[in-house]
Chain A
Amino acid sequence: GAVVSQHPSWVICKSGTSVKIECRSLDFQATTMFWYRQFPKQSLMLMATSNEGSKATYEQGVEKDKFLINHASLTLSTLTVTSAHPEDSSFYICSARIEGGLYEQYFGPGTRLTVT
Chain B
Amino acid sequence: EDQVTQSPEALRLQEGESSSLNCSYTVSGLRGLFWYRQDPGKGPEFLFTLYSAGEEKEKERLKATLTKKESFLHITAPKPEDSATYLCAAAGPGGYQKVTFGTGTKLQVIP
Contact = CB atoms under 8 A, between A and B. Distances in A.
A49 B96 CA distance: 9
A105 B44 CA distance: 10
A84 interface: no
A43 B41 contact: no
B45 to A, nearest CB: 7
Contacts of A62: none
Contacts, number: 55
A93 B43 contact: yes
B46 A103 contact: no
A26 interface: no
Given A42-B103, A43-B103, A43-B104, A107 B43 contact: yes
Interface string B8-27: 00000000000000000000
A32 B96 contact: yes
A95 B46 CA distance: 11
Q: How large is the interface on B (under 10, 10 to 19, 20 to 34, 35 or more residues)?
A: 20 to 34
Contact of B32 (A43, A95, A102): A102
Contacts of A102: 31-32, 49
B100 to A, nearest CB: 9
Interface in B88-111: 91, 95-97, 99, 101-104
Nearest to B102: A43
A44 B101 contact: yes
Given A32-B96, A104-B34, A44 B42 contact: no
A83 interface: no
B49 A103 contact: yes
Contacts of B34: 103-105
A103 B99 contact: yes
A109 interface: yes
A43 B100 CA distance: 10
B87 A43 contact: yes
B87 A97 contact: no
Contact of A44 (B41, B44, B46): B44
